[in-house]
Amino acid sequence: MSEAPAGMTWIPGGTFRMGSEEFYPEEAPVREVEVDGFWLDEHPVTVAEFRRFVKATGHQTTAELPPDPADYPDADPAQLVPGSIVFRPTPGPIPLDDWRRWWHWVKDANWRQPEGPGSDVYTRARHPVVHVTHGDAEAYATWAGKVLPTEAEWERAARGGLDGARFAWGDDSEPGGQRMANRWYGDFPWRGYVGTSPVGTFPPNGFGLSDVTGNVWEWTAEEARVNGGDSPCCGGAEAGEHIPRRVIKGGSHLCAPSYCLRYRPAAKQFEPVDSSTSHIGFRCALRA
């Protein structure tokens, strides 16, 4: 094992039980998987870190560019303008059968102004960057000399050595009454919304990683094995079958135990690669 790269933690290789059969069907079956040791960012890429990348490269995120009409042949051309998908709490209790009640496409929403025009990240330099597509995450990783982790690497790291545990810290969702992750505390989707939190606000897992569950979903390099099945609670995105999907892991600050219990290492979703939202970020890996 070489000297630790700045801001990264060594994840020892080995065999572990990946997946779960307790919660959602896409997580099954539980299977033994072996991964080699690798380095992983201690926390999701922050706004400050992403800003340095943009200043160095001039990168424009997908949300800052108009969509390609060829990808959306049925769309009104007037609607093909820069923007992204933003969560907005509802004014009160509502039926939870249609995610469009709380997810909204917002013109000019992007990583610089996560809630749309009039918002900014001036006070959120230590928050995870959001409104990044899979391509944006890959571009950052390449610039940093890193890669996006595979799903197996990500889950091995998120478990923190607790093979088979429900959560990144064990089987108790709040051991001793302590909140262990930035997830939804309250009544989804109207009461209890907090948004993202600075990385490291909650206790790290057994490998010293912060925010592996909750806060923001994280892109992986893994290709989704199925198409369709957009999540009504977490993806907040629709795309045609011609748009590839990648696996995202870890849940986010929008995960409510009563509705979306996905702030767990085994949890996953299949996200269109061109999708950017206010609750998806990423972290990078470096293989030995």
pLDDT (tens digit per residue) in 15-58: 999 999 999 999 999 999 999 999 999 999 999 999 999 999 99
Are 41 and 284 in contact by the 8 Å Cβ rule? The answer is: yes
Distance of CA 45 to the CA centre of its chain: 11
Q: Which domains does the chain have, with CATH numbers?
A: 8-287 (3.90.1580.10)
- Name the pTM for this structure: 0.94
Phi–psi pair at 245, nearest 5 degrees? -125, 150
User: Which stretch of 24-33, 66-75, 95-104, 177-186 has the lowest confidence by average pLDDT?
Assistant: 66-75
Nearest to 25 by CA among 221, 225, 206: 225
H/E run at residue 50: helix 47-57
What pLDDT is recorded for position 226?
Answer: 61
Counting residues of the chain whose pLDDT is more than 70, the rounded percentage is: 94
Are 213 and 158 in contact by the 8 Å Cβ rule? The answer is: yes
For residue 256, which amino acid is it?
Answer: A
Dihedral, 211, 93, 88, 272 alpha carbons, nearest 10: 70
Q: How far apart are CA 97 and CA 243, in angstroms?
A: 24
pLDDT > 80? residue 173: yes
Q: What is the mean pLDDT of residues 2-6?
A: 82
pLDDT > 90? residue 106: yes
pLDDT (tens digit per residue) in 225-277: 764 444 445 554 455 567 899 999 999 999 999 889 999 999 999 999 999 99
Q: Which two tokens stand for residue 52?
A: 């340095």
